[in-house]
Amino acid sequence: MPIDLEALYPKLIHLMLDTVFVVDADNQIVFVSEACEALLGYRAEELTGTPITHYMHPDDLAATRASIIQVMNGQPHFDFRNRYIRKDGSVVHILWAAFWSHEVGARIGVARNVTALTQAEDELRFLAHHDPLTKLHNRALFNTRLESALRAAHRDKHSLALLFLDINDFKGINDVHGHVAGDRVLCAIARRLEGCMRETDTLARMGGDEFTLLLTDIHAEHSVAERVAQILAAMAEPLGPEFGGIRMPSCSIGVACYPSDGEDADTLLSHADGDMYRIKRNRFATG
């Protein structure tokens, strides 16, 4: 006997893992498939007859309204992303395929939960520019920021400072207490350095126990020395009891200023690195 496909369609829609929405010209939900409960936490009967905009993340509302206008003007969307607020208050990231049906007089959309994908993408973007251990900027992003800052300094005729910081005898912490303890100390150092930064500064871990700090918009020579003193004071504070008696290591800080110590990134980095090693040698020669 022939299969009654029209009778099957509603059942097939409710079997879909993605959620099907039908929304009228006034943004009222007139139909939603049963997958909505997994997506938003609401049963279908709770959503039907309510405005779909009620569930949108407020920060995405303007962009979503613009997308709705495009769809209703005959421009289907197959890759629009936004966020919705679930019934329990959590946020879900959704990928939409939607079009306007003149025959039905409604907007038909299929919604897919891409929260896990979005989080993975965000993590990859973060790791591309940050050190995975300390969460500070990495060498690649620091170099980009430095080049940009140098162009701005040259254009606007202002100065900047580059600080190169090395942890003294950090190898001893790894050798005595192990690399896990050493990693915890590096993270503690990163947080202390962050506490010394302004919003316009850039702090990065260059690798190992080396950090760089880019200080822009320097108005006076003494301000660089004051910042170095602030960092040294922060580093002199002992570690908490959770570190099991590990002593906070000291650090050596080399400084290079634009334009007096160089006008390009390589020269400034080389000068700051050399200044740091000079300070380290003097410290061990007198200590």
| Other Cβ atoms closer than 10 A to 80 | 19
Encode 180-202: b = buried (16+ Cβ within 10 Å), e = exposed: eebebbbebbbebbeebbeeebb
Dihedral sign from CA coordinates of 269, 271, 276, 277: positive
Asked if 161 and 269 touch (Cβ cutoff 8 Å), the reply is no
Which is nearest to 218 in space by CA: 271, 149, 119? 149
Asked, as a colleague might, if the bond just before 10 is cis with ω within 30 of 0, I would say: no
Q: Which residues are catalytic?
A: 209
Task: Report the alpha-carbon distance of residue 153 to residue 259 in Å, rounded.
Answer: 9
In order of 24, 56, 86, the CA distances from 51 in angstroms are: 9, 10, 14
| Residue linked to tokens 């897919």 | 112
Task: Report the alpha-carbon distance of residue 133 to residue 184 in Å, rounded.
Answer: 9
Dihedral sign from CA coordinates of 77, 81, 85, 87: positive
